[in-house]
Chains A and B, each alone.
Chain A
């Protein structure tokens, strides 16, 4: 269950950033997650709810925005969305592609008081 280790990191970052901004209560977290991230949102939310008990982030909503896989073709220069199970250029059908988005996993912002 790697979601536990990830939740702990998420809570650490949340509390540090809230303290830095002088906030005493965090009401929501906005996370961005690429389509490649093998992290189960419901598990992340459940773990976070437990880990955050008794902290400034207790009861905070965890919102997760997904980012699609996009790539750039090194052969023809095309760039756009790619099916991660069938990686192929949308222009020339080539497979020499560079990842643009899809591996992200970061805390974008907090709503706090």
Chain B
């Protein structure tokens, strides 16, 4: 016999992602999913962004390292609430893991919840985790062919940070090519040239993050929470 099914295979994650988003909306907290390769500078970038954004926003961080507490300790040193997520060797964070972490935060007193995803350019892109928007971090030493090789991550992000921009003189990294490739897969992506360590470009990025956050928080009305459908699928370009 033939059985018609029509069942979303990612549903288990999509449903939980929608539930996480609804919980965060109800508390007026904006989750930002930060993705990129191992060593691209995600933690350094978060540290720089936190320094710029903390006068205006109450910030928390979920650290998704595969093993070890190093990144979580760096964030905790800033006096920012941080929880280390135990991913047990996984290549990505799932919405369920984020849901388990939410009770560790005082969401009433949190405006932004950054999630530093697992260092990986492929797998995390498939999993929504209740985010309002996504930032992909690509660093100059990784090479300028990464958008072509891993289009999904770059087609689903809202902001692309070309980090370690101070290293540009030392690498064959054509930043205009990367920008053109990124706009090719994602015409509405915002591209930033940043040196997370030195601080160049951080202010511009922080202003964009603030504007995106304000828009997300303004849209997160309790009424919208009730309507939240569990089947939302973000198009690659809006």
Are the C-beta atoms of A1 and B91 separated by less than 8 Å? yes
In chain B between 2 and 39, which residues have their CB closer than 8 angstroms to a CB of chain A?
Answer: 2-12
User: Chain A interface secondary structure, helix, strand, loop or mixed?
Assistant: mixed
**CB nearest to B123 among chain A residues:** A2
Q: Chain B: interface secondary structure?
A: mixed
Would B127 and A105 count as touching, CB distance under 8 A?
Answer: no
Q: Across the two chains, which residue of chain B brings its CB closest to A29?
A: B5
CB distance from A5 to the nearest CB of B (A): 7
Q: How many residues of A contact B (CB 8 A)?
A: 36
A111–B9 CB distance below 8 A: no
A111, B184: Cα distance in complex, Å: 40
- A81 to chain B: closest CB distance in Å? 14
**B39 shortest CB reach to chain A, Å:** 20
Known: A87-B236, A95-B187. A107 touches B6 (CB 8 A): yes
B108 within 8 A of A: no
Binds A, one of B148-156, B165-173, B197-205: B148-156
A75 → chain B closest CB, angstroms: 12
The total of interchain contacts (Cβ-Cβ below 8 angstroms) comes to: 101
The listed residue (A86, A95, A106, A110) touching B9 by CB distance below 8 A is A106
Shortest distance between the CB of B13 and any CB in chain A (Å): 8
Say yes or no: is A51 at the interface (Cβ < 8 Å to chain B).
Answer: no
- Rounded to whole angstroms, the CA-CA distance of A10 and B148 in the bound complex is 29
Chain B 145-187, CB-CB to A under 8 Å as 1, else 0, gives: 0001001100100000000000000000000000001011111
B residues near A9, Cβ cutoff 8 Å? 9-12
Bound complex: CA of A21 vs CA of B152, how far in Å?
Answer: 36
On whether the beta carbons of A105 and B10 are closer than 8 Å, the reply is yes
Which residues between 55 and 113 of chain A lie within 8 Å of chain B, taking CB atoms? 84-87, 95-99, 102-103, 105-113
Give the docked Cα–Cα distance between A84 and B11 (Å): 24
Q: Would you call A52 an interface residue if the criterion is a C-beta within 8 Å of the partner chain's C-beta atoms?
A: no
A36 lies within 8 A of B236 (CB): yes
Contact A97 B126 (CB under 8 A): no
A106 adjacent to B6 (CB under 8 Å): yes
Q: In the complex the two chains form, is A5's CB within 8 Å of B187's CB?
A: no
Contacts of B1 in A (CB 8 A): 21, 23, 111-113
Q: Is B227 an interface residue (CB 8 A)?
A: no
Minimum distance in angstroms from B71 CB to a CB of chain A: 21
Judged by a CB distance under 8 angstroms, whether B235 is at the interface is yes
Q: Which of B9, B94, B184 contacts A105 (CB 8 A)?
A: B9
Residues of chain B from 37 to 94 with CB closer than 8 A to chain A in the complex: 90-92, 94
A109/B4 contact (C-beta < 8 A), A13-B9, A36-B236 known: yes
B159 smallest CB distance to A (angstroms):
17
List residues of chain B with CB under 8 Å of any chain A CB: 1-12, 90-92, 94, 122-123, 125-127, 148, 151-152, 155, 181, 183-188, 233, 235-237
Q: Which residues of A contact B (CB under 8 A)?
A: 1-2, 5-6, 9-10, 13, 17-18, 21, 23, 31, 36-39, 84-87, 95-99, 102-103, 105-113
